[in-house]
Amino acid sequence: MSNLTASLPLMLKTLRLSEFRTHWESIAEKALHDQWRPEQYLSELCHMELASRTDKRQLRFLKESNLPSGKSLGGFDFTAIDGVNKAIMYDLADNHEWIKQGKNLLLFGASGVGKTHLASSLGYSLIEAGIRVKFYSATALVQHLQEAKQALKLQDALNKLDKYHALIIDDIGYIRKTEQETSVLFELIAHRYERFSMLITSNQAFEDWDDLFTDTTMTVAAIDRLVHHAHIIQLVGESYRRKSAMKKES
């Protein structure tokens, strides 16, 4: 083994090419046996490195997302609920142009009809495509932003959320109507407007959002920003969770 070859593992470690470092010898043997051209050998190692990095990145994105486990479009019974089109949901999962354009997805419906399931399943699909996602309950997110505002760091907190091109806000209707809470929620909506996407679930229709905001002007402004570039889905039916529980018991 030449001095240059002997130092190759160290150089690959320094360059953080872990797959190169692990497989360069075995792939080199295969390349010699199959009479590959040099660029074919290099391409094979690059593919392995990229695949490994993609897997690690997806695992990192998944860990930080805080998504509820076990949610997938394949596991959703579209026959149990009206108002949601299966083809449209799969298109949103596969075609991510709406995320690139900063469009929103608003899911309305009574408790238990599957709003969180659908939003979360889209979150998993986005992560598979290399898009960073963060899931929050609306109350937890508002509390986080309130604390940042009290520490005079609200803008910093909003900027940090920019790294998530898709922000899932679950159960927005459960936010308590106080000036402190609704003001930071409006700041978030205004901050992300036409820049980054939000997937919002709510058991309250727009006409009831006066219960969320203390100021009617703020309510109208928030709704205008959310719906300007948005897919709006109204789920109708009996509790999806209750039906699923009854099927398991039967």
pLDDT in tens, the chain (250 residues): 556 677 888 888 888 888 778 878 888 888 888 888 888 888 887 887 777 777 788 888 989 999 998 898 988 999 989 999 999 999 999 999 999 999 999 999 998 899 999 999 999 999 989 999 999 999 999 999 999 999 999 999 999 999 999 999 999 988 776 656 678 999 999 999 999 999 999 998 888 887 777 788 888 999 999 999 999 999 998 765 555 555 554 4
CB 60 within 8 A of CB 163: no
CA 36 to chain centre: 41
The residues, ordered by sequence, that sit 6+ positions from 211 with a Cβ below 8 Å of its Cβ are 173, 177, 204
The closest alpha carbon to 115, from 246, 242, 245, 233, belongs to 233
What whole-number distance in Å separates Cα of residue 87 and Cα of residue 107? 16
Q: What is the pLDDT of residue 216?
A: 85
Question: Hey, what are 120's tokens?
Answer: 């979360």
What whole-number distance in Å separates Cα of residue 114 and Cα of residue 71? 10
Q: Label residues 91-106 b or e (16+ Cβ within 10 Å = b).
A: ebbeebebbeebbbbb
DSSP letter at 165?
Answer: S
34 by DSSP, 3-state: which?
A: helix
Q: Is 28 left (phi over 0), alpha (psi -120 to 50) or beta?
A: alpha
Q: What is the pLDDT of residue 11?
A: 81
Task: Identify the structural domains of the chain with CATH numbers, from first to last.
Answer: 3-64 (no CATH), 66-249 (3.40.50.300)
Q: What is the pLDDT of residue 2?
A: 56
Q: What is the pLDDT of residue 250?
A: 47
Q: What is the pLDDT of residue 181?
A: 63
